[in-house]
Amino acid sequence: MPRIKRIRKKEESDHKACLKCPAICCKSLAMTIHRPKNKKDLADLKWQLQFDSVRIYIRDRKWYLLVDGKCSYLGADDKCTCYETRPKICRMHNPPHCEFFGRYYDLMLTTPEELEGYYYPKYYDPGKKGK
C-alpha cells in the first residue's frame, strides 16, 4: 500500500513564533509578476525599481514585486486588528515559510542597475551608477 503524504498542520510552536514576530509580512506587499520577456518589460521593471519602496525578488524561479508599506490593519503593537476575519492570504502565510525565519528569496534586486546586471552580467559594473 502506498504511503500517504500528510499535510502538516499548524503546530503550537508555529503560533508561539507568530507571537514573537514583529509583523514583517504586514510591512510589505509581495505580488507575483511575470519575468521580463523583452526590452520593454525590462525597462518597465527598471523604472519601478527607481522608487525606494520597491524591490524585486526571485524565489523558486518565480518573480515577485515587493513594495514596502504597512497594512492598514496592523496595530501599534504589531498585532493584526482584524485577526479573526483576516483574508485567506494572511491565514495561509505561516511559519516556518515566512520572513521571520530567514531569507525567503533566492535573489533580491533593489536597483535598476542590479536588474540590468542580472540580464546582462557581462556588461554589469556594480560600482557604476546611472539610469
Q: 2 falls in which pLDDT band (50, 70, 90)?
A: very low
Answer whether 0.85 is exceeded by the pTM: no
Q: Tell which wins on pLDDT, 94 or 31.
A: 31
Of 3, 108, 117, the closest CA to residue 56 belongs to: 108
10 Å CB burial of residue 83 (0-12, 13-18, 19+) is: exposed
* pLDDT over threshold 50, residue 16: yes
Sheet containing 54-59, strands listed edge to edge, beginning at the edge strand earlier in sequence: 28-33, 62-68, 54-59, 107-109
Q: Which helix (H) or strand (E) holds 58?
A: strand 54-59
- What is the rounded average pLDDT of the residues 95-121? 86
**Domain boundaries defined on the chain:** 13-118
At 60-88, the pLDDT tens digits run: 999 999 999 999 999 999 999 998 999 99
- Residue environment code for 45-69, b if the CB has 16+ CB neighbours within 10 A, otherwise e: bbebbeeeebbbbeeeeebbbbeee
**Residue 125 carries which side chain, given as an amino acid letter?**
D
At 19-62, the pLDDT tens digits run: 788 888 899 999 999 999 999 999 999 999 999 999 999 999 99
